[in-house]
Structure 1
Amino acid sequence: MTHFNVPTREEVSSNNQDIFDNLKKAVGFVPNLYATIAYSDTALGNYLQFQNAKTSLSNKEKEVVNLVVSQVNGCSYCQSAHTAISKLNGFTEEQILELRQGYFSSNEKFDALVKVAKAITLNKGKVDDATLDAFFNAGYSKGTLVDVILAVGDKVVMNYLHNLTKIDIDFPVVQELETIQA
């Protein structure tokens, strides 16, 4: 079996070294999963540009998507990272567990969002009419739906990268939950 180490700054291209320096300034460290993307000379810059692009989703809404997609895809790294980020965005531990399980009991809009993101991920983009109607009835638009699809794609990339490389998790590791089913 191939083993993946987290590349150090000295082991990546000069372009990626600059990105590492910027991440260290902005975040305080280079998360292991970002460092792993730097095996490619171009992927880290491309990914960060995509991830940081403008969206209609608020930071909290992005975390709703990140948590449920990471749970569906069984990515322990992203579940752990986005639990920490979600707490910084004001979600409680109980709310985070609900989101990871595919629902949100205290906010109808977030509940519709988590359910549509879960359905998109589980069903490869095919969402039943009732779930989609609830999403639109909660006040979301077709434009927002496109942004949700892009957010799902962003998270799927990271989930797959970790699930394949199994690099060490450098965030507080969260408890395992049952993988979400339809």
Structure 2
Amino acid sequence: MSRLTTPSLDEVPAGARQTLDKLGKQLGFVPNMFKTIASNPTVLEAVTTLQGTMSRVLDARTRHSIALAVSQSNGCDYCLAIHTYTSSEYGGMSSDDIDLARAGSSVDPKRAAAARFAQQVVDSRGQVSDGDLAAVRDAGYADPEILAIVTVAVQALLTNFINNVNQTDIDIPAATAAR
């Protein structure tokens, strides 16, 4: 059971309600995580703005792979559920791709390097080795892309922490087979 207050949709402030309505249209439902965050409209704005901004870096499958790898490292069941759902439903990732991403890997070597590096960033609290940096560079990532990998990892880490603190009730529809 969630440990923080999750207001009903009727109880959230007007500005937050607009954001939740937009999310509901995008996803087909309003996830419990966003309902909970909506109790603080400033935090909701920060999270959704960061997510929107980061949707413009890297490709979608790489972002999904990073989110899955980081959520696995942090043991965030809620984030694993939502990222599995969105990776399958909107990212076109197969269940095998999703499983590999959770392990910090991929059938695509470049994407695998990004997922692995993101896990190393999280697991080492940013204290990655020269070898870790060399490996992600050797996979084809330049420094601006490495900054994007770190930021996508931190974005996932933010929601992992919120959901782990809250123990957010999982309300994610079961993902269907990837198209």
Q: Same fold (TM over 0.5)?
A: yes
- Give the C-alpha shift of residue 31 in structure 1: 0.9
Aligned position for 1:102: 104
> What is the distance in 1 between the residues matched to 2:126 and 2:18?
36
**In structure 2, what residue type is equivalent to 1:146?**
L
Aligned position for 1:16: 16
- Give the C-alpha shift of residue 41 in structure 1: 2.5
- Give the C-alpha shift of residue 130 in structure 1: 2.1
> What is the distance in 2 between the residues matched to 1:172 and 1:129?
41
Whether the 8 Å contact between 2:65 and 2:104 is mirrored in structure 1 is no
- Give the C-alpha shift of residue 26 in structure 1: 2.5
Aligned position for 1:61: 62
Pairs within 5 Å for 1:1-182: 3-54=3-54, 55-87=56-88, 88-104=90-106, 106-172=107-173
> What is the distance in 2 between the residues matched to 1:99 and 1:24?
26
> What is the distance in 1 between the residues matched to 2:3 and 2:68?
26
**Number of positions where the alignment pairs a residue of Structure 1 with one of Structure 2:** 173
**In structure 2, what residue type is equivalent to 1:103?**
S
> What is the distance in 1 between the residues matched to 2:19 and 2:95?
32
CA RMSD of the aligned region, Å?
A: 1.9
Deviates more, 1:60-69 or 1:38-47: 38-47
Deviates more, 1:20-29 or 1:132-141: 20-29
> What is the distance in 1 between the residues matched to 2:73 and 2:154?
13
Aligned position for 1:179: none
Q: Give the TM-score, by structure 1 length.
A: 0.87
Deviation digits for residues 141-167 of structure 1, max 9, x if unmatched? 100111111111111111011111112
SS at match of 2:41: coil
Deviates more, 1:78-87 or 1:5-14: 5-14
> What is the distance in 2 between the residues matched to 1:3 and 1:61?
32
SS at match of 1:124: coil
Deviation digits for residues 52-99 of structure 1, max 9, x if unmatched? 015431111110110000000100011011111111312211221121
Whether the 8 Å contact between 1:6 and 1:167 is mirrored in structure 2 is no
Say if 1:25 and 1:103 are closer, same or farther in 2 by CA, change over 3 A: closer
Q: Give the TM-score, by structure 2 length.
A: 0.89
Say if 1:129 and 1:74 are closer, same or farther in 2 by CA, change over 3 A: same
